[in-house]
Amino acid sequence: MVLDEREERVAKFFRKMKRTKCLPAHVAIIMDGNGRWAKIHNLSRSQGHRKGAERVREITEEAARLKIKVLTLYAFSTENWRRPQKEVDLLMRLLKFFLSREIKNLKKNNVRFECIGRIEELPPPVVKVIYQAKQETRKNTGLVLNLALNYGGRTEIIDAVNKIIKAKQSGQLTPSDIDEFGFSRYLYTIDLPDPDLLIRTSGEQRISNFLLWQISYSELLFCKKLWPEFSAKDFRNCILTYQKRKRRFGGI
């Protein structure tokens, strides 16, 4: 793909966004607070994550209804491997179960499934269901549900640099190819616009290594609700707050 094509694709996203009253084209969410929610309700962390998975379904359906183009959800970070093995195993099982159960629903809602991160390092049964979900939804034209799995923003940048070095060594690159657009072609998000809105639930105000390059001009919204209690209405309220913001992209 040449650079002009990508610029045109991004410009096309912006043109469409204007027609839809500044609806964010891409919303990214750091789904935080499953563990705290479970504690407050005297439940296990596993139950907190299960409840969190239910919210993934609800918010995906709402985003599809609102005609948002891309919803990126931070489901498992490169740092999450540091959690107790039991919790990591539970999250992997939940992911596999969720994806295999949801494929039908994604198809029904015309949702295309994508994911970003070092997918090949995930357990093989999870990788298998990821490819199946991608394959079976590839022709859908509505919302792109993009799960960040084994994802780290710094890792993504390092992976991009290594891909660039390889491309350079095989003579596919000239130095002038690497401007901002050129660099972003090597990120996991190559075909996606940058997020317009980044939401983090649970009251924490951190980025936690999420989409470091892509959120340069995103609007940030920190919501006090814990992820398992974050409803479709909360999501719509976040969109409304976003629509009241004035974005200047460094201009005046």
Binding site residues, ligand FPP, CB under 6 A: 31-36, 49, 52-53, 56, 75, 80, 94-95, 98, 147, 227
Give whichever of 42 and 176 is closer to ligand FPP, judged by the CB atom.
Answer: 42
Q: How far is the CB of 14 from ligand FPP (least distance, A)?
A: 29
- 47 vs 241 by CB, closer to ligand FPP: 47
Set 32, 34, 146, 194: catalytic member = 32
* Closer CB to ligand FPP, 53 or 129, in the complex: 53
Least Cβ distance, residue 71 to ligand FPP (angstroms): 11
Is 80 known to be catalytic?
Answer: yes
Q: Which of 80, 159, 209, 234 is catalytic?
A: 80
Q: How far is the CB of 37 from ligand FPP (least distance, A)?
A: 7
Nearer to ligand FPP, 6 or 57 (CB): 57
**Residue 92 pairs with which residues in a beta bridge?**
none
Q: How far is the CB of 26 from ligand FPP (least distance, A)?
A: 18
Encode the chain in three state secondary structure: CCHHHHHHHHHHHHHHHHHCCCCCCEEEEECCCHHHHHHHCCCCHHHHHHHHHHHHHHHHHHHHHCCCCEEEEEEEECCHHHCCHHHHHHHHHHHHHHHHHHHHHHHHCCCEEEEECCHHHCCHHHHHHHHHHHHHHCCCCCCEEEEEEEECHHHHHHHHHHHHHHHHHCCCCCHHHCCHHHHHCCCCCCCCCCCCEEEECCCCCCCCCCCCCCCCCCEEEECCCCHHHCCHHHHHHHHHHHHHCCCCCCCC
| Active site members | 32, 80
